[in-house]
Amino acid sequence: MERDRMMAERVDLPDADATRLPRLFTPLTLRGVALKNRIVISPMQQYAAGRDGLPTDYHLAHYGRLGMGGAGLVFTEALCVSPRGRLTYSDLGGWDDACVGPLARIVDIVREQGAAPGAQILHAGRKAAVQRPWHGFDPLSGIDIDERGEAPWETVGPSALPANPGWPTPREMTRSDMDAAVAEHAAAARRCREAGFDVLEIHAAHGYLIHTFLSPIGNRRSDGYGGSLKGWMRFALEVADAVRSEWPDDKPLFYRISCIDDEEGGWTIDESVELSRALGERGVDVMDCSSRGLGLRGTPVVAPREQGFQVPFAERLKRDTGLATMAVGLIMEPAYAEGVIAEGRADLVAIGREALNDPNWPVRAARALIGPESYESVWQPRHGWWLSKREKSLEAARRERPAE
């Protein structure tokens, strides 16, 4: 089959001795897409879109500077597959054909800076209809109507179980709701294809719609979409099939999951292995290994953790399924990131908040791991040429300085 042939062509780690490059800076080809290095900018919602879900100038500046920073792959924030599936009124949307042109501008800007552009698609399920983080991240209520004209909307989920105590109870989805949500994911994938993205990721983590179907904590259904691993996985696999059918065979599909719920009776890493195997058979190329988030307070972003705390999940899925994996979560130091790739624990590392702190993190990592010569090879010449020249003149001045 064409798809299998393309997967078999996935280029593995080049011989590091031959390239003399740190593994973090070796290329990776997934299907027909060549990534120049193993550094990925993780999807991060910016809550900067208009109510129509369309990007603004902010997004062009934001993704442009991330593209310039030297990563091999830059993901957009989650593009919501329907207005109901948004977290907030300012989420980016993938639900209307009007998004294709503006998203194509983001694609062009990222690609022109030398990175591959990736998109992520999401339905927020029972965690939809919340305030922006800096307004509280709580469900929309009367105060949001008064202050910003932002009324809550009805949320949906596999079962009528709220995300957190005191949160609105979602409406249990009917069969036709589920079919519609699957079709919305496929339509958003088609729009991402039309916009020209190189990589697509399905967001099935952090307590959003697909995750609530997967987890026995969010899913009490008795209609074949719950009750057993096969039932819990069914909706997630239907989405994967529908999205794959819209996503080109020569472009890789990533799938982000919460590898564990870390809660009594919740989803486990063994189940993530089974799910990943089934996704691999459906044409998913990379498992993006996050964790937790069924309740808002438990997301990796807010709970105290240590560097690389989710790497063991990427390592386990890679070892047990043979799929490529992406590690994410508090990866901050270049030497640590290099170790993750060099030790074969994951194929890619995703950088989130550290890239907000320093959009040039990949360039900084190259300077740390390769040395000043990286300025010319890793950074674009408009910057690299000058920085390399500065480095050489500083070095010359050091040599000429009389010994003290």
Ligand X SMILES: Cc1cc2nc3c(=O)[nH]c(=O)nc-3n(C[C@H](O)[C@H](O)[C@H](O)COP(=O)(O)O)c2cc1C
Which residues are the active-site residues? 208
Relative orientation angle of helices 100-112 and 57-68, to the nearest 10 degrees: 30
Question: Smallest distance, Å, CB 394 to ligand X?
Answer: 32
Q: Which is nearer to ligand X, 22 or 118 (CB)?
A: 118
Q: Which is nearer to ligand X, 60 or 301 (CB)?
A: 301
Which is nearer to ligand X, 291 or 388 (by Cβ)?
A: 291
Q: Which stretch binds ligand X (CB under 6 A): 141-149, 157-165, 238-246, 348-356?
A: 348-356
Amino acid letter, residue 267: W
What gap in Å lies between CA 396 and CA 28, rounded to an integer?
37
Q: Of residues 37, 113, 290, 325, which one binds ligand X by CB under 6 A?
A: 290
Task: Provide, rounded to whole angstroms, the least separation between the CB of residue 346 and ligand X.
Answer: 13
Binding segment for ligand X among 40-48, 103-111, 261-269, 359-367 (CB under 6 A)?
40-48
**Residue 124: strand, helix, or coil:** coil
328's tokens: 């994410």
* Minimal distance, residue 45 CB to ligand X, in Å: 4
Please report how many Cα atoms fall inside a 13 Å half-sphere around the Cα of residue 383, on the Cβ side.
15
The string over 196-211, giving b where at least 16 C-beta atoms fall within 10 Å of a residue's C-beta and e elsewhere, is ebbbbbbbbbbbbbbb
Among 77, 150, 238, 285, binds ligand X (CB under 6 A): 77
In angstroms, the CA 84 to CA 106 distance is: 24
354 near ligand X, rule: CB under 6 A:
yes
Contact track, ligand X, 110-139, x by CB under 6 A: ----------x-------------------
Name the residue nearer to ligand X (CB basis): 290 or 321.
290
Interface positions, 371-400, toward ligand X (CB under 6 A): none
> How big is the site for ligand X, counted in residues (CB under 6 A)?
21
The long-range contacts involving 263-271, CB below 8 angstroms and separated by at least 24 positions, are 263/217, 263/294, 263/298, 265/216, 265/217, 266/215, 266/216, 266/217, 266/294, 267/211, 267/214, 267/215, 267/216, 267/217, 267/232, 269/313, 269/316, 271/214, 271/229, 271/232
Shortest distance, position 183 Cβ to ligand X, whole Å: 21
* Footprint of ligand X (CB under 6 A): 42-45, 77-78, 120, 203, 205, 256, 290, 300-301, 328-331, 351-354
